[in-house]
Structure 1
Amino acid sequence: MARELPHPEVTTLSLDTVLAALADPVRREIIAQLSQGHDDQACIAFELPVSKSTSTHHFRVLREAGLITQRYAGTAILNTLRRQDVDTRFPGLLGAVIDAECLARDRSATEPRTGDA
């Protein structure tokens, strides 16, 4: 029997829970990466500045908030953004967060690092 992870129904998504999940920059990075068309991406494919156990925690928070779905494929867990579900419940929220995260990422990539000549 295939293992399944619990996911909240669209009608039960809580704005407070979604916003709390999106408050963390690592989780916003995961959401931004998934929004770039990388559905069904394994957790190990993400280059995150945290340990494996902390990464697992971040993915669980996103799943429990209803922002991503996770499914087993062998021993890997594949992640997909629940964009349509979140947009149905909170129109425009996820798009605004993704746009802001991508803009912040672009800005930090072009800013000179301290100490560079």
Structure 2
Amino acid sequence: MKEFDHPQKSEISLCNVLLALGDPIRLSIVSQLASESCEIGWGAFEVAVGKATLSHHMKSLRMAGLINHRKEGTRCYVALRPELESLFPGLLSSILKASHSGSEHSAY
């Protein structure tokens, strides 16, 4: 069974986290994960992308250190990494709050 690579806690950088959260699909995935207190299976995400694109976004989130990703049989499950809050206190909740309130602004 294939195991997924995850960065160590010491390898998670603010720059990579912010870069990953800069994509609206990935931000939506993280928002859905934040609203749950448990792992979510891939099929439960409400995103308007195909499986290959969802896989790409999950890999980006995993490699940025935002999610834990595990496979059980033929099913994949993801959850937010619990150490994110200790690494970047309040960051995720602030970004999610801003995105839900519609206060995100384009730089252009």
Normalised TM-score (structure 2): 0.86
Alpha-carbon contact 1:11-1:89 (below 8 Å) kept: no
Q: Which runs of 5+ in 1 are unaligned?
A: 105-117
CA–CA distance in 1 between the matches of 2:36 and 2:18?
22
Larger Rg: 1
Which contiguous aligned blocks of 4+ residues in structure 1 show a shift greater than 2 angstroms? 101-104
Pick aligned residue for 2:83 from 85, 91, 94:
85
Aligned residue pairs, count? 102
Q: How much identity, in percent, do the aligned residues show? A: 39
The equivalent of 1:112 in structure 2 is none
Q: Secondary structure at the match of 2:83?
A: helix
Q: Give the equivalent residue in structure 1 for 2:35.
A: 36
2:94 pairs with 1:96: yes
SS in 2 for 1:87: helix
Instruction: From the two aligned structures, give the one with the greater helix fraction.
Output: 1
Question: CA separation in 2, counterparts of 1:12 and 1:38?
Answer: 25
Secondary structure in 2 aligned to 1:77? strand
RMSD: 1.3
Alpha-carbon distance in structure 2 between the residues aligned to 1:56 and 1:17? 18
The one-letter code matched in structure 1 to 2:96 is I
Unmatched 5+ stretches in structure 2: 103-108
